Structure 1
Amino acid sequence: MAIKAIELLKGGENHEEIMEVLAAVAADLGDVIDDLNSLQVKPLKGAMTNEVFEVNWPTKSDGHQRKVLVRLYGEGIEVFFNRVDEIQTFESMSKHGQGPRLLGRFTTGRVEEFIHAKTLSAADLRDPEISALVASKMREFHNLHMPGTKKAQLWQRLSHAKSLCSPKDIKNFGLEHLDTEINMLVELLSQGYQEIGFCHNDLQYGNIMMDEDTRAITLIDYEYASYNPVAYDLANHFCEMVANYHSDQPHVLDYTKYPGLEERQRFVYNYLSSEGKEPSSSEVEQLLNLAEKYTLANHLFWGLWGLISSYVNTIDFDYKEYARQRFQQYWLKKATLLDSPSVISEH
């Protein structure tokens, strides 16, 4: 039993509310929670926005362990999303048969169904078979009909996030002209037709689960999900391949692991062909080129996320160093990606 997690559930300001919600969830499932000592609480690693726990208790019927997931919301990160909208998204996903069910809510978090599936590792994303399954699932996700206006949310979120950075960090990270950079990206990346879909926007390996028997893929954690250009979501997924959030230095990004041309082409091909229609080579190239350009917006978004998280989040993660790497990558790749009409090249 994890001491830190127990202390959190015992000592938090709203621990009584959490216990009441857990007791209500247990009752809905036909169980009884007598007291806190009947709970087994295990912190789950890899989360950087929230704190996540596996909570177990003995079932009333046969004494086996019942598992649920308790999510304690990270503080202050709502700048990047609206928590009410996120709950609505979560509930809509359940109605679509996607992701875990919402079992209960309390002021600072919620209780979710525990999915009995394997959370992918950083290495799993490089497996061609698993990658193809993820690409197909991403396409299915993008086609969901969800609440909200079907237009890109990215640019508004970027501008708002920049306004919350401290003057000191704006200077230290060279962000004095970031508004100009954002406006430039809006102009360049909004030209021509772009498919808008309901995007996950945070498709790192820890948010992808796979049933090891059926190989079914489930996408979880929809805090950042919104309508956006689908090319942006592809860009985000490619960028996440350089991270390993379960290493000794989870904030360190290794850009030598950015997927090469063949790997990116294969993913985009699998994404486009997942609905049964053979995409042309020009369709693959067009989407891949656009996704590469959207990596720039992705670097800015998660760079700002790192700075703002450093002000408010207590999770053990070097947010500012993470931000520095993302901004550095933006400046490193900007000229290459925007000066060339075709950006199909090795990264």
Structure 2
Amino acid sequence: MSWTRRGEGASPPEQALEAILARIPGWADAPLRYRPVSGGISNTNWRVQAGSGAGDEAGADVFLKVPGRGTEMFITRAAAHEASRRAEACGFGVAVLDYLPEDGVEIFAFLESFRASSNLDFLRPGVRHNAVRALRAFNDSPALTLTKTIFDMIEEHVRQVDTVGGRVPQDTAFLMRRYGEAKAALLASGLDLVPCMNDTLAGNFMLDAADQVRLVDFEYASNNERAYELALWFDEMAFPADVEREMIEAYWGRWDVGVAARTQVLKALGDLKWATWAMIQDSVSTLDFDYYKYGTWKLSRARTLFHHPDWPRWLRLL
């Protein structure tokens, strides 16, 4: 993909980026060039290089994301920045170079030797186990300022769908009844609140040639139920049952029927959360992404677990 020099941006996203670049200390008059980075479904992502004018020596590249329209409805940028710093301190994040609170923009070192992973990468046991170690390190770090549980997220999104006039499924009453059952059972069992990414899709795990893992994108991070982190990851990876068991053992040090049941219940809630989020984005986002299709797929998976014959047993095992 070709570079665009500052001052040559023509599209609205490019012009928005250039306005932000002009406000970065030390970059007001520096020669810069940039190009988009694919993969985001909430923001526009950019690779920026300083010192790219005639006769200038190119500097180190940085990664910068511009918040997408409507993301302030569910992202607290200061909290995301705190979580990014925490991940860096854990040894599994990326160096945070700067933060522009007025724009909600974080600037990171660009990981030259790393690439975004795909679901296929997690077919390799080494990648899976390295990812579990990274997640566990972040989960075991000191508490974040923001606590936002999976219940908070779902209930917030339900209100927001109503506010923006988003589409709702015909079986909403059933879905929310199952949600209520899960919430009551999980709260009765007690929550283990720890720092969680809350967004464990494959693209948020960066890999190098040795399969070392770095975690990126902490926009949705908060203190949340510990078991939700793996549950959501299992949702995203679509692991078969034997791999889920392997990863539970790797994370917890043993396989436990109660943890396994908790994971299944939280997988359903994770899909319900992101399906509801997608209906909000379907109404407000300007990005070229089929949020409705994404949300429909998530709802289908949630229904599979909500209708599962073991649902009552899982709730009892919590």
TM bucket, shorter chain: 0.7 to 0.9
**Among 143, 152, 159, which residue is 1:156 paired with?**
152
2:74 to 72, 80, 92: 80
Instruction: Output one character per residue of 1:162-188: Cα deviation in whole Å (capped at 9) or x when no partner.
Output: 011148645554325654443222012
Alignment of 1:191-270 (within 5 A): 191-213=188-210, 215-241=211-237, 258-270=238-250
Superposition pairs for residues 303-318 of structure 1, below 5 Å?
A: 303-318=275-290
The question of whether the paired residues in 1 share the 8 Å contact of 2:87 and 2:138 is answered with no
Moved over 6 A (4+): 59-62
Select which of 66, 74, 79 maps to 2:60. Answer: 66
Distance change (3 Å), C-alpha of 1:194 and 1:16: closer
TM alignment of 1:37-186, pairs within 5 A: 39-58=32-51, 63-97=57-91, 98-105=93-100, 107=103, 109-116=105-112, 117-148=114-145, 153-166=149-162, 169=166, 171-176=168-173, 179-186=176-183
Contact 1:103 1:113 in 2 (8 A): no
Residue 11, structure 1, aligned to residue 8, structure 2: no
Q: Show CA shifts across 1:244-303 (max 9, x none).
A: xxxxxxxxxxxxxx2111111111111123xxxxx3x4x3x3322211111110011000
- CA distance in 2 between counterparts of 1:228 and 1:222 reads 13
Cα distance in 2 between the residues matched to 1:59 and 1:216: 31
Q: How many residues align?
A: 307
Partner of residue 338 from structure 1, selected from 296, 311, 314: 311
Between the aligned partners of 2:243 and 2:175, the Cα distance in structure 1 is: 31
Q: Which runs of 5+ in 1 are unaligned?
A: 242-257, 274-278
Q: TM-score, normalised by structure 1?
A: 0.78
Q: Do 1:197 and 1:230's aligned partners in 2 also have CA atoms closer than 8 Å?
A: yes
Give the equivalent residue in structure 2 for 1:255. none
Cα distance change, pair 45–87 in 1 and its aligned pair in 2 (3 A): same
- Give TM-score, length-normalised by structure 2: 0.84
Aligned to 1:165, the other structure's residue is in SS state helix
Contact 1:59-1:66 at 8 Å conserved across structures: no
Amino acid corresponding to residue 15 of structure 2 in structure 1: G
Distance 1:259 1:175 in 2: 27
